[in-house]
Structure formats: C-alpha cells, structure tokens
Amino acid sequence: MHKENIEFNINEDAMLLKIAEVNNKLDKIVLGGGKSRIARQHEDGKMTARERIDKLIDKNSYFFEIGAFAGYEMYEEHGGCPAGGVIAGLGYVEKRLCMIVANDATVKAGAWFPITGKKNLRAQEIAMENRIPIIYLVDSAGVYLPMQDEIFPDKEHFGRIFRNNAKMSSMGITQIAAIMGSCVAGGAYLPIMSDEALIVEGTGSIFLAGPYLVKAAIGEDVDQETLGGASTHCEISGVTDYKMPDDATCLETIRKLISKIGAQAKAGFDRIESKIPLFNISEVSGLFPVNSTKPYDMLEILKRIVDDSELTQYKEDYGKTIICAYARIDGWAVGIVANQRLVSKNAQGEMQFGGVIYSDSADKATRFIMNCNQKKIPLVFVHDVTGFMVGKRSEHGGIIKDGAKMVNAVANSTVPKFTIIIGNSFGAGNYAMCGKAYDPRLIVAWPTAKIAVMGGTQAAKVLTQIQVSSIKKKGEAPDAKAENELFEKIKGRYDRQTTPYYAAARLWVDAIIDPRETRKLISTGIEMADHGIVEKFNSGVIQT
C-alpha cells in the first residue's frame, strides 16, 4: 500500500540516493592506496588486506566492516588515509565470530596514522568486551613518523595496543597474529604478545630495528631476511611459531587454529526461532522522511525490523516521545528505546513535540532500562532526537533531574547496548540515548544521521545572535547583509560537521549502514555479545 503513496515514494527515492552515495564512496575507499599499489602488492606475491580477509572468513558468510570511513577527508596534506590504513571487522572463521584486523600496505606501507591507532583500539575494545577471538594480519611500516607526536605517547595512542594484548591474554581471549609483510619497531610487539604467531617466507619480517637503522646505530651490515625473516625467527630465535610458504597457506592455517578452540560459556541471552517481520524491511527507506523536521511514526519503522512485527510497549500511553518496547530481532529478545517523532499530548493535555525528550519520557525510559538490566535483556537504542525539552515549564518541572536519571541508567547499564542513529542525535539526547561515550557494543548510522550539539540552523542562529549582540554593545549598528553572510557561513560549517561521513571518519560511529541491514546488524551484535559476561546491574544514585 505504501508504494502507491507519493510521499513514501519521495522518501524512498531520497534514501536510495543517499545509500548509493555511501556505496560510491566505499567503492573508492576499498581501493586503498590505488590500483597501481594493489598491482605492486600482487607482484610481490602478496594478497591485499581485503583479499586476505575474504580468504580467511567462511565462504558466503556475513562480514561487518568496522570503520570503513575512518580517516575520510582527513590527512589530505599527507595524501589521505583510506579506511585509516587498516581493515577491521567482524567475520566468521570456521563458524566462529572473530574480530579481524588487517593492515593495508597499499596505504603508506601500512603506516599508523592517529586514526589508525584509534581504529585498532576500537577493534580490540570490541573483542575484549565480547570476549571473542581476534586475528591480526600484520603488514605495516609502523608509526607514520611525520605525525608521531599524535600517535606515539598518550594513553589512547599506539602503546595502548600492546597493553590491550596483555589484558586480553589475562582474560583468556584468543589472539592469533600472522606476519605477512613488514613488522618493525614498536609494532613488533603486537604479534609476539599474541598467543600464536605465523610468518610468511620471503615477505614477512619482524625486528625492532631494520637494516638501515642497525647500520646507523651499531655499524653492522645485515640484510632484512637474515635480520628478521621467517627462517631466522622460526629456526633460530624462536620468536614465531609457524613458518608459512605463502599468504594462502598462512590463512588456511589460521582457520585450522581457530577451529580447535574449545567452547566458551555464554552470557545466556534469550533466543527462540527467528521470524521475519510481517512488513517488508525494505519499506523503511520510504517511511523515514526527507525533511528531518517532519513527524513520522517510529513504530512503523520498528515493525519492519522486529520479528513478526510484534512489539510489547511499556507504558504505552505515558511519556509518548520515547517508545519503550520488548520485542525479538532474529529470535533474540531485546528491549528497544526509540525516539517517537509524532506530536502527542501528555496527561495534562499539553502538546509534546516529537524528537524531544520530556520529563515523563525520561522517567519511563529510565525505568525500562533498569527492567531490561534486571531481566538480562540486551538494549537497542534508535536515535532521532533533538535533545531534552527546554524552557521555564520544563526547568521548573525538573527536566535536568529526570534527564540525569536516564543518563545514569544508561551509563550503569550492564547488558549489551546497541545504538542505531537514523536521524538527529543532538545535545544531551545523544548521551541519554547511548551515544558513543556510553559504551554501546556497536554504534552505527543510517545515511540520514546527523550528530552534533545542535542542528546547523539552530547553532548558526545562536552564534549569529551572540555576534550581533557584541556589535551592539560596542555602539555599532549591525549590518543585515553581513549578519546573513555570517549566519550562512556558520550554518555551512555546522552542516558539514553533522554529516554521518564526518562522524564515521572520526569513529564516532562504527559504520554507515544501509537501513535494510539494521536487523542483521543487531542480530550479529547480540550473537557477538552472547560470548561476553554480564555483570550485576547497580543503578547508582538513581531514585525513582
């Protein structure tokens, strides 16, 4: 019936164009350093990072790439850094869900930019939180020296990688590293701090200092293979465990190692037989409005994501600007917290505008989050929020207190949290709805997402008013034309900074996804989280 609706068709066309834009950008990103460098990699007898991952994972299985847009439109003065120079994601190896991290040697020889370090740490964080195996396919020249001050010494920089290696080892999380190219200096610790290390003959090498630095430091002449090649480390030093003749054999050996890992205890999230939604999930593209300020019914979108299109709403008639509901996604029990964009009335008959969190909505969400923690039900947050309600009535009603309770519940929640940003994610609404700062196991954006303190128009109005006020205080008359130019300049900057690409480039979100993949992504995330441990929920200072 929706296909005959003109507004639906307009929305669908707009969403499909945005999806096509995402895919066009990804087509360029997957080329890494370019076709000529890919060809050079092949000439050296090496697969590319993406080819290695394709060979490693199970055939025709799902691979969810983390941070494909990392570094997008960043480091242009250094020639760019597609995908942050490293490919990372969740993939199935011998039917086991693993985190896979592969250096892309076509991008600056796999050197580490600041965003490379951040992306590696995010991959490790996911493996640690969910206690899943992590596989490193190493082929890197080490720290990108022109930016060493932004990647080397700080807490969230390069050295944190090795700290995480040690932590994962103590947690019993399997780490397997394959040295398939260069592995130098500090980077040499990563594979050797893993549980097992493989090295490829002829192309793999590992040493603290390469031949040139050895010559400069101690005057010794030595070639790369003798210094740190496969034979040296498998036959003399014992640093590596397996000597592999080529990339393909190395990857197949990793598969064999993974296949023999014993079963681990599960968290025990409830799952029954999956049922497809009654409504076609592809219809979400037409249900989400082109105009981000236009009301729409979030329930209609959720019905196309959850099993059998069935939701059990919690406090359905209270706090209507947030939907709280129990449902199943691919058989998994979930608790959904989603912003509702329809205009409604509260118990006092007052109008409540969609996309805004009021005191009653915050109160409802807080209680629901606590209930899901008590029942050990994973939480799914669906963002289209402009923030908490402002104004005299809201302030007098204690909106700050009620908002703080919701933020507290999200922060202290111990069940896995998954965040889908489909529209606006502004201000404290981002925090209350489990933005990146609140440790979602996965956080993704639709192509329509916008993340900022506030929208571009609102921010531009505020800053323009401040500028005009400053001019008036000086006794000068504001220039209407200059005022408009200032407004447009500020708005343009904010609009650029609120795009999903800007967010994904900086890893504020793990990926920009096709909305039709939402259901699959959440299911994979919960399957991943089921390997982890759920601590006892402590609500902290929440008083309801």
H or E segment and range at residue 177? strand 175-184
d(CA 97, CA 110) in angstroms, rounded, equals 25
Q: How confident is the model at residue 500 (pLDDT cuts 50, 70, 90)?
A: very high
9: pLDDT strictly greater than 70:
yes
22 C-beta neighbours (distance < 10 Å), count: 22
Three-state SS string over 53-115 comes to HHHHCCCCCCEEEECCCCCCCCCHHHCCCHHHHEEEEEEEECCEEEEEEEECCCCHHHCECHH
Q: How confident is the model at residue 455 (pLDDT cuts 50, 70, 90)?
A: confident
d(CA 524, CA 359) in angstroms, rounded, equals 34
In Å, what is the CA distance from 321 to each residue of 377, 386, 410? 22, 11, 18
What is the average per-residue pLDDT within 475-481? 76
- Please identify which residue in the block is written with the tokens 């500020």: 490
What is the average per-residue pLDDT within 434-452? 96
Mean pLDDT of the chain, nearest integer = 91
pLDDT value of position 543: 54
Q: How confident is the model at residue 166 (pLDDT cuts 50, 70, 90)?
A: very high
250: pLDDT strictly greater than 70:
yes
HSE of 147 in the Cβ direction (CA atoms, 13 Å)? 22
pLDDT value of position 142: 82
pLDDT value of position 59: 96
Question: Which position has the higher pLDDT, 214 or 317?
Answer: 317
The beta strand positions in 435-520, using DSSP E, are 442-445, 450-452, 511-512
Nearest CA-CA partner of 414 in 266, 544, 539, 521: 539
Question: Which position has the higher pLDDT, 536 or 443?
Answer: 443
**Tokens at 30, concatenated:** 């997957």
- Please identify which residue in the block is written with the tokens 């299985």: 61
**Tokens at 164, concatenated:** 């995480």
Rg of the chain, C-alpha, whole Å: 25
CB 361 within 8 A of CB 315: no
CB 224 within 8 A of CB 157: no
449: pLDDT strictly greater than 90:
yes
pLDDT value of position 4: 62
Q: pLDDT per residue over 260-313, tens digit each?
A: 999 888 999 999 999 999 999 999 999 999 888 889 999 999 999 999 999 999
pTM of the model: 0.93
What is the average per-residue pLDDT within 49-66? 97
d(CA 387, CA 449) in angstroms, rounded, equals 15
Nearest CA-CA partner of 87 in 132, 120, 130, 55: 120
d(CA 351, CA 344) in angstroms, rounded, equals 6
Q: pLDDT per residue over 341-388, tens digit each?
A: 998 888 777 778 888 999 999 999 999 999 999 999 999 999 999 988
Most confident by average pLDDT, 289-298, 450-459, 479-488, 519-528: 519-528
**Tokens at 250, concatenated:** 């190395």
pLDDT value of position 84: 96
182: pLDDT strictly greater than 80:
yes
HSE of 416 in the Cβ direction (CA atoms, 13 Å)? 29
Q: How confident is the model at residue 542 (pLDDT cuts 50, 70, 90)?
A: low
What DSSP designation does 271 have?
B
Q: pLDDT per residue over 231-249, tens digit each?
A: 999 999 999 999 999 999 9
Q: Is 416 exposed, middle or buried (0-12, 13-18, 19+ CB in 10 A)?
A: buried
Q: pLDDT per residue over 386-428, tens digit each?
A: 988 877 887 877 788 989 999 999 999 999 999 999 999 998 9
CB 526 within 8 A of CB 398: no
Question: Which position has the higher pLDDT, 206 or 544?
Answer: 206
pLDDT value of position 155: 82
Q: How confident is the model at residue 208 (pLDDT cuts 50, 70, 90)?
A: confident
